[in-house]
Structures are given as C-alpha cells and as structure tokens.
Chains A and B, each alone.
Chain A
Amino acid sequence: MNVNGMSTMRLTDRAKVVDRRPMTFLESLYLWSILKGMATTLKHLFRKKATIEYPEEKRPFSPVFRGLHVLNRDAEGRENCTACGLCAVACPAEAITMEAAERLPSEENLYREEKYAAKYEINMLRCIFCGLCEEACPKDAIYLSQTFAPANYGRKGFIYKKEELLIPHPINQREAYEKALGDRKPAVKA
C-alpha cells in the first residue's frame, strides 16, 4: 500500500479495505446485510451460554487468591497472635487495629504466648487484600483465605472483629475447622 508516497507497513493480515462506493438501490434496502446479521445472531442462539449461575455455581479461585483474613490457631486450638502489631505496620491501607493484653496463668489453653490480642479488627472496606499482613506475621497468625467478604447493609458490618476472623477451634469444632482450612495444611503440633 502506498499513501502519500510512503509505503505503510501492514501490522496484521486482517485489514479490510473499506468500500466507499455509493450503495446501489438493492444495497440501500439493507435486506441482504440484515439477513447476514440475522444469520450471525441465530448461530449465537445455539452457543454455550457464558453465564455462571452464581449462588449455586461458583467460579473456582486460583490457589494464590487473596480473600478474607483468618486468624490462625495452633494444633491445640490456642491463638497464635501475640499482638506484635507488625501486620498493622505492614498494612498499606491502615485497615488493621488491635489492642494487646497479657495472658493470665489460667488462660494458657487459650493463647499460645504470654501476650495476645484482646481486640483485633480489620476494616474490610479499607483492606486492599494485598496480603502484606500475612507476609509480615512472624507467628503464622494471619493468612488470607479463598473467600471474599459478603455484601452488607452498613459500613459497620464490614469491620470484622476478632470473633469473625478467628478460625474455628481444631479440637472442639473439628469439621468447621477443616472446612475453614480448605487446602491449607493444618497447623503443626508445637
């Protein structure tokens, strides 16, 4: 092709030269082109539908999908978190807040170490699901699961408390624990 004396390079072989001739009378009735169009749509009538019927049918997530956070327990069901605050520091969206407390002698079956998170909140509206909290955590106490936050009527409902984030107890609630664990390997007995 030659435009203004310069040869133009063709990038694909799919280019089509547009026919700029005025339409003939038959063409100007559009009948033939409309029939061609209708043949195209008729073919689509019998195609496989692209729809995924959501609540019944869910798209599989990739194994590296980063969804809702889970606060982890060890094999005896003690909370891993020591409220060190590294996750909150690592969080680029400043979505995590916590309050630390000291473990009482009677609470040794509840918390793994002598300091624990009395309060632990993640604002799911701020969270960008980057997973930096998971990377920052030295105690394997937080990880991102393969579920996402369900819809809610208010903003308050998106501030997840510790109770909502904690993984079920591995001994008392065996089934729920295994379900929450998914294809993650279970906590190693310390």
Chain B
Amino acid sequence: MLLALDIWFILEKVALIATIIGLSFFIAMYTTYAERKVAAWLQDRRGPNRAGPFGLFQPLADGGKLFFKEEIIPLTSNRFLFILGPALAMITALLTSSVIPWGASYVDGSINIPLQVADVDMGILIVFGIVSVGVYGIMIGGWSSNNKFSLLAAIRGASQMVSYELPMGLALIAVLLMTGSLKMSVIVSHQIEHGWHILYQPLGFIIFFVCALAECNRTPFDLPEAENELNFGYHQEYSSMKLGFYLFAEYINMFISSAVMATLYFGGYDIPFVNESTWGLSPLMFSLMSFAVLMAKVLFFLFVFIWIRWTIPRFRYDQLMNLGWKKLIPLSLVNMLLTAALTLWLNK
C-alpha cells in the first residue's frame, strides 16, 4: 500500500512539513525578540537595538551565544536521559503543528492541496496527546539532572501541567459538542458557517486561554522555571544549546498554542463579517491570504502572552493549585454541561 503512494503527495507533505517547522523556528526566534522589545516598552525602555537595524539580529546573536557556550553534563546525571529531556521537549513542541490547518486549501481544477499536514479524524486529540507527552521532557530533564532543586521544579511543573490539562480538556469538550467532530478542518469550517466559537463559548475560551498559559509555563504560571526565585527550575543543570532547546521549545509551544486557540475559538483562517470565497481571488492568493489571516490572529495571541507576562506577578503554588482545581475545573464543568444541554435542546 505504501508503494502505491503518489510521489507528489509525499513531496507535497515534505515541503509542507519543512515550511511549517521552519516557520515555527522563525516565529519562535522572533518571539524572543518581541518578548524583550515588548517587555522594554511596557517598562518605558527601548529594548535591544544594537544588533542590526532595530536590534533585529538579536535572536541570531542570542542563538550564536548559546551554541558557543560550554556544554556541561553533570557527572552524576544519567547521560542518556539528560540528553533525551530537551530533545523530547523540542520534538513534542514541533509535532503539535502537524494537525493545525494553516490556511484554506489550494484548489485549482483537479489539484487540491490542503495547507495541513494531516487532517486526521482525531485532530485536536492528537494535540492534547502530544502536549501531555511534553511533560516527560520536563520530568526527565529535571530528574536526570540528579539535582534536588531540578527535581522539585520538575515535579512542580508536571503537577501544574497535569492539573491544568483537565479544565483545558473540559473547555475543549464544549467546543466539540458544538462541532460534533474532532477534525480540525471541520472545526474551522463549522465556524466559517456558524460564526466564531468565541461568540458561543466566551467562558470556555477564557478557561482555555488560562490553561494554555499554564501549559506553556508562562507567567503567571511559570513556577516550573521561576528564573529569579525557587532556584531557577527543571533546567538548572542545563547549559549551552540544551538549555536553548528547552527555552526554544517553550516559545514554539507558545506559537502552537496560539494557533490552536485561533483555530478553536477565533475561526482559524476565516475573515470575520465577509465571505472571502466570493471575491474571485486566484487560488494561490486565496490560500496565502487565509494563511496571513491566521498568522495575524496568532501574532495577536503571542502579543497577549507577552503582555500578560510583563504585567502580572507569579502565583504562589497553593494559589496555582486552588485556581486550577477549585475554580477552573468547576467552571469548565458548568460550561460543558450548559453547552451540552443547550446543544441537545436546540438540535431537537
């Protein structure tokens, strides 16, 4: 069966995968730059502006610095797991991009190229599954460092991610009740037909957003890595590009979760209030425009992520757990039940 596969199909997918991975790296790179710039602006400073015009080469300089740093592997650490940790974090961060529809399909006569690597039936579940595996990157890294502070931070991180996955999943169920499908393409087309999910699920979106912050280890939920207190975090023993992988994977996670939120709640690549398919654009232009629209939404979310980070302080650990278990889970349960009841009532 595999031999029967069209060579063009494979080429198309490889090209798409390469593009998306390249794009993820590029966006993650410049999110670090944006982070520093926005942080500076919010604090009445200017931010990096020396490397290149407007400091645009700053991420390259940072990356170069990380590459040339001495690589230290603690003698008492488990070497294999120590290297596996950051690799796993990076792999899981990149894998999640595979099921996101990045734009409207390129349809030209008999040619139909979806801008999505895999439109599988369980779509969004794959994202959740891979994100859950991402916890192992943190756990393995923290544990194999053989440092009690790393281990404590890893446990903190793992418990946080596990706790916040619950309300996130419950908020997601409410969306799935409306679409009736796990397929990402169906979720988007449902929104194009019936309006964005944010209109029907404002509470669900807020819960999802808060949980996304926690899943990406972003402020106010960045206890796993607390740079300035709690003895850094699970990557305390890491140096050089292994540390870079952890930090970079986080930015890629931010990018992907922004894309997921845009797809689930903000209509994916849909432009609101207009029906762009009647504009008579060429198929290439149409696909590119829908991609640009999705990217605009993603960039907005990335800005909000950064904006939140430089506004509010970190939660205390008990506050974090209280918020997750006693506030978000009941709220998302109520949200889910209400949605279920309304869907049932309206569809009768």
- A residues contacting B by CB (< 8 A) are 25, 28-31, 34, 37-38, 40-42, 44-45, 47-51, 53
Contact = CB atoms under 8 A, between A and B. Distances in A.
13 contacts: A25-B327, A28-B323, A40-B311, A41-B307, A44-B41, A44-B43, A44-B44, A45-B38, A45-B42, A49-B46, A51-B44, A51-B45, A53-B49
Contacts of A51: 44-46
Given A45-B41, A50-B44, A38 B327 contact: no
A49 B327 contact: no
B44 A41 contact: no
B310 interface: yes
A41 B46 contact: no
A31 to B, nearest CB: 7
B312 interface: yes
In this complex, the member of B44, B206, B308, B311 whose beta carbon has the largest number of chain A beta carbons within 10 angstroms is B311
Report which residue of A34, A37, A41 has the largest number of chain B beta carbons within 10 angstroms of its beta carbon.
Answer: A41
A73 B206 CA distance: 74
A41 B311 contact: yes
A29 B327 contact: yes
B206 A38 contact: no
Contact of A49 (B44, B308, B322, B323): B44
Interface string B299-313: 000000001101110
Given A28-B327, A29-B327, A38-B307, A47 B44 contact: yes
A55 to B, nearest CB: 10
B313 to A, nearest CB: 9
Task: Give chain B's interface residue range (CB within 8 Å of chain A).
Answer: 10 to 19
Contact of A50 (B45, B307, B312): B45
B210 to A, nearest CB: 9
Contacts of A50: 44-45
Given A28-B327, A29-B327, A38 B308 contact: yes
A49 B307 contact: no
Query: Nearest 9 A-B pairs (CB), nearest first?
Result: A41-B311, A51-B46, A41-B42, A50-B44, A37-B311, A38-B311, A45-B41, A49-B46, A44-B42
A163 B10 CA distance: 75
B46 A42 contact: no
A176 B308 CA distance: 53
Given A38-B308, A42-B307, 5 more contacts: A29-B327, A40-B311, A41-B307, A44-B43, A51-B45
Nearest to B315: A30
Contacts of A28: 322-323, 327
B45 A41 contact: no
Interface in B20-53: 38, 41-46, 49
A53 B46 contact: yes
A44 B44 CA distance: 6
Contacts of A44: 41-44
Contacts of B323: 28-30
Contacts of B206: 31
A122 to B, nearest CB: 33
A178 B308 CA distance: 54
B121 to A, nearest CB: 35
Contacts of B42: 41-42, 44-45
Contacts of A25: 327
A122 B44 CA distance: 40
A48 B322 CA distance: 39
A41 B327 contact: no
B312 A37 contact: yes
A183 B317 CA distance: 61
B107 to A, nearest CB: 41
Interface in B305-335: 307-308, 310-312, 322-323, 327
Nearest to B206: A31
Nearest to B310: A41
B312 A34 contact: yes
A187 to B, nearest CB: 42
A29 B45 CA distance: 31
A41 B38 CA distance: 10
Given A28-B327, A29-B327, A34 B311 contact: yes
Nearest to A25: B327
Contacts of B327: 25, 28-29
A36 to B, nearest CB: 10
Contacts of B49: 53
B311 to A, nearest CB: 4
Contacts of A40: 311
